[in-house]
Structures are given as C-alpha cells and as structure tokens.
Structure 1
Amino acid sequence: MEKTYNNKSIMTYILIIIGIIYIFPILLTFTNSLMSIGEIEENYSTEDGIFSDDDYKYIDMNIIPETVTFNQYRHIFLNTPTYINMFWNSVKLTFPILIGQLIVSSVVAYMFTVLRFKFKEILYFLYILVMLLPLQVTMVPNYIVADMLNIKDSYLAIIIPLIFNPFGVVLLRQYMKVFPYSYVEAAQMDGAGHLYIFTKLVLPMIKSGIVSLGILTFIDCWNIVDQAIVFIRESHRQPLSVFLSSINQGEIGVAFASSSFYAIPILLVFFYGQKYLEDGIQTAGLKG
C-alpha cells in the first residue's frame, strides 16, 4: 500500500512539473503584455543582462510586471489596423470550416454507422488512411485540384479540403457506434425515415461528440499556417496566425500583446467546452 502511494505521489509531482512547463510560456506572454515598453526593453536587453560574456547573452525574465499597463493592447487596436484585419481574416476562414465540417462529418459518420451498403468498410478504411497522411502529403493534391478549379488563390482552396477532413468522420463514428442500434431499428419499424432518425435520435445523443469535434476543429483552423502560406499570396488576406510572425520581428511588447489576444478565443472555447471534450474522449473510447 505504501509503495503504491509513493508511486502515485511521484506521478503527481511529475505531472505538476510537466504542467508548469506547458503553462509557463503562456503565463509569461500574458504578464509581459501588461508591462510598459521601458520595462520590457530593460528585461529583454542583452547588453546589460545579469550574466553576459563575449560568446553568450542572457536576459532577465520577469513574470510580475512592476506597473500594469494596457498600452500594448491600445497600440495593436488603435495604431495597427492590419492586426484587426488579419483577425477578421482568421474568423472568415475558421467559421465556414467549423460549420461545414460539423455538418459533413455528422452526415457521413451516420452513413458509415447506420446505412448498409457494399464496400462500406473498405471506404471507411480509406478515410482512416487519408487521416493518417501528413499535411504536407495531402497539400500537393489539394494544390493541383485547386489549380484545376481556379481557386488556388482564394479562401476556398483552404476551406473546401478542411470541410471534408476525415478526422471528423472517424471521431463521430466512434460516438455513434456507442449509440444502441436497437433504437434505430425501433424507429424504422414505426415508419421513421433516416432524416428523422438522424436529427431526432442520433444528433441529441452525440452532443458531446459534436462539441468535442467543434473544439478541436476550431483550434486547428484558428492556427492555420501552412495552407495560408501556400494558397494565399496576398499578405493582407492572410490570417492572423501568419501575420504574428511579422509582428514578432518588431516591438517585443506589441508581440506579447498580439499573441495574448490571439490566444484568447482558443482559451475561451477550451474552458467552455472542457467538460464536453473530456466526456467525449471517454465515450469515443468505449467501443472501437
């Protein structure tokens, strides 16, 4: 008993240390965004660091600001209109993908779970295979198809492939497999069609799965970088995730504020749907 308790204590400490390592950059970014320009320049100046020599330079990292100020946020909202424009570019990319993927994934997952047709398992295996391919592999055929459709320099070149991302189908099918098929059979015996079964029986039962997919899709699409660089050539039409790299090359205080504000939507979505995400992951693993 004592050995088990010690093992649990060790694992707890290890998880706490890992958690601190992950949280520290986020905490540092947010607190530094509340510092004045002078304080940031003093902390991150390599000329007068607390340790320095000819080969290495060290900087001072302070988490708690001496004076809390919102001047960095005021600068990006009032003096950097490009930032707001890029923010709305991210919104225009993310929400069509989010809505489209939820609709397409739920319908296709229902088809793979309830309907009976030839070669269904082979087709589903191909979905899994495509899902496992790296982004760099699938981006090449996506670019070729976008060029054929004459949409390679538009948001559609990014939105359409991500709407049909097979990950959502695979995830929601796991939820639907937990759903008792006897309910579907009983509804069919009462004369219910697939539209009624899908909207009135299946969707309410997989609510946690839909929310989980929505959270994961939002986080993934909000952080789009590679697709935007490849398909969108005009810099003023690129999302904020790409624009942040150019902000980081300027004033470091503005970079902290920009990164903090950029992360707020992701944190809000995650904290709001954390319970659904945890329940969804547990439910999806009940039946393979």
Structure 2
Amino acid sequence: MALSRRQKTHTLNIAFTIFACAAAVLFLMPTVLTIANSFMTSSEISANYGTMFGNMTDDTKVFISDNVNLKFIPDKVTFDQYKAVLLKSPDYLLKFWNSVILTVPITLFQLLIAIFASYGFSRYNGKIKSIIFFAYVILMLMPYQVTLVPNFLVADKTGLLNTRWAIILPGVFAPFSIFLLTKVMKRIPVSYIEAAKLDGASEFQILAKIHIPLCKSAIVSVVMLVFIDYWNMVEQPLVLLQDKDKHPLSVFLSQINSGDVGLAFAVGVVYMVPTILMFLYGEDDLVEGITYSGGIKG
C-alpha cells in the first residue's frame, strides 16, 4: 500500500511538472517570438506576417490569417530593425525616455512617501490612524478607471492637464505601497524597537536601522511592482496628456503596427529590457517580499 501511494505521488508530481512546463512554454512564447522576429529581415517578416497587417484598409482591418507562419529562428539574422529604432528613428527613443521620465519619479517618490507613512501606521495606534488606513485600503481596491475622471477634473482645474505632473502627482500618492509596507512593518517584533529605544535611538534611527533593513525584500518588491505597473500604463497618458509628443512608449506601441511590423518587434524588445533586467536582479527579493507572512530573519 505504501509503495502504491508513493507511486501515485510520483505520478502526480510528474503530471504537475509537465503541466507547469507547458504553461511556462505558452507564457514565454510571445516574448521569445518577439525577440526572435526582431532579428529578421523585412522581407522575411513580410513573408511570415504580411497577411496579418497587409489587408488593412480604412473600412476593414484583418489582423488574423490562417497563413501566418510563426518562426522562432530567423533565416538570416540582421540588426537593421535595431539600427532603425536606435539610430534612425528618434521618435521611438523619445517615447522611451518619456516612459522613463514618468515612471522613475513616480516609483522613487511613492516609495519614499510609503516608507514614512507605513512607519507611522505600524508604530502608532488610534482611531484616526485606523480611519485613514481604511481609506487607503478602499482607494487601493478601486480600479484606476474609477478615479480617472476625478483626476482629470482636478488636473484641469489646477492647470496641470496636458503636463507630466497630471500623471506623476497621483502616482506618487498611490496607496498600494503604503498598504504593503505597513503590513510588513507591523510584523517587526516590538522587542527590537524597545531595545533600540533603551540605547537612545531616535524615531528616525529606528526607521533607518531597523525597519528599512528588515523590510528590504518588501521594498524591492514595491519598487518592481510599481515600476512595472506605471511602465505599462495606457489609460492615464491617453486621458491626461493631449500632446502626443509626451506619450510614453506603452501608448506608442499600439501605433507602430500601422507602419513597419519589423520595427514593432524591435521596439517591443527595447520596451521589455528594463522590466526584464529589474526582474532578473530582484527576483529573490520579489518572491520573498510577496510571500512574506511570518517573523523576521535573524
């Protein structure tokens, strides 16, 4: 009986492994296709994907065809697409830097505000604190589309509409980071704080030398999640930035396919590079920060 149970467990493990591998292949396939096709020549891209975009007219748009040929290995490797994107087409780089200008300040200042606010929420109790934190939770549960109209009206009344501040300021004060860091900081043992106070540490020293080091994984997770979220934003720029020259690359990507499809693949790869590098650098901290549920490592 024991052997049979062991065999069943082994069979289930094999089945789950096969399922996980199949899911991983399906998940990675679009990324692999994008990277591989970005090194194809224009003629090869037209031969493989021309039917997807070649039949577009003003009245009818045909995006799917049975004759599409998905290829993972180019017949001839070329860097012409990247030369066009990085050297010959300043519009793509302009949109890329628009994304950086919008995303980096939001990520940094949202993290800074979240650290101080989360420290206050985790250290002090009271009815007012509970009400404010509950309001943060309610705001976090709301989809951005719900607050988009109020943001538009406020930006219009304050003269910030069609400026980057219309996106940066609401992003800086977003509640997600505060909620996550507060939950993590509350798990820090009180004995650590009491010991620091006995040694004469100030509140800022307790924050800098106890809370921040012990919340390193959560902080890295916040940086990665916030950066990826705003790096991929579409609704905010479309509504709050009327000037297309200020649009980030996430908005501009949808317009590239109307021109050279090969450039779309190359721009897509360039667009993925920052998030992929960030994930590879902070993967361990991201997993630990998200799954964190217990005490502090000592």
The TM-score range, normalised by the shorter chain, is: over 0.9
The percent of aligned pairs where both chains have the same amino acid is: 41
Q: Is the counterpart of residue 278 in structure 1 residue 287 in structure 2?
A: yes
| Counterpart selection for 2:252 from 239, 243, 246 | 243
Aligned to 1:52: none
Query: Counterpart amino acid of 2:289?
Result: G
Among candidates 4, 19, 22, match of residue 24 of structure 2 = 19
In the alignment, the residues of structure 2 paired with residue 100 and residue 12 of structure 1 have an alpha-carbon distance, to the nearest angstrom, of 41
Give the CA deviation at 1:271: 0.6
Task: Give the SS at the match of 2:100.
Answer: helix
- Could you say which residue in structure 1 is the equivalent of 2:3? none
Q: TM-score, normalised by structure 2?
A: 0.89
The root-mean-square deviation of aligned C-alpha atoms, in Å, is: 1.6
- Deviation track 1:246-281 (CA, whole Å, cap 9, x = no partner) reads 112111111111101111111000111101101112
Superposition deviation, residue 148 in structure 1: 2.4
Answering whether residue 189 of structure 2 is matched by residue 180 of structure 1, we say yes
Q: Quick check: 1:40 aligned with 2:78?
A: no
Residue among 28, 36, 41 paired with 2:33: 28
TM-superposed deviation, 1:189: 3.3
- Work out the CA distance in 2 between the residues paired with 1:143 and 1:46: 40
- The residue number in structure 2 matching 1:131 is 140
- Among 153, 170, 173, the residue aligned to 2:162: 153
1:66 aligns with 75
- Which 4+ runs in 1 deviate beyond 6 A? none
SS at match of 1:178: coil
- 1:138 Cα shift? 1.4
Q: Say which is worse superposed, 266-275 or 173-182, in terms of deviation.
A: 173-182
Match of 2:203 in 1: 194
User: Structure 1, residues 2-32: CA drift from partner, whole Å, max 9, x if none?
Assistant: 2222222211111111111110000000000
Are residues 1:166 and 2:171 paired? no
| Partner AA of 1:141 in structure 2 | P
Aligned match of 1:8 in 13, 26, 36?
13
Q: Extract unaligned runs of 5+ from structure 2.
A: 1-5, 53-63
For residue 203 of structure 1, the aligned residue among 193, 203, 212 is 212
Say which SS state the counterpart of residue 144 (structure 1) adopts: helix
Contact 2:51 2:65 in 1 (8 A): no
SS at match of 1:119: helix
Which residue number corresponds to residue 233 of structure 1? 242
Secondary structure, aligned partner of 1:278: helix
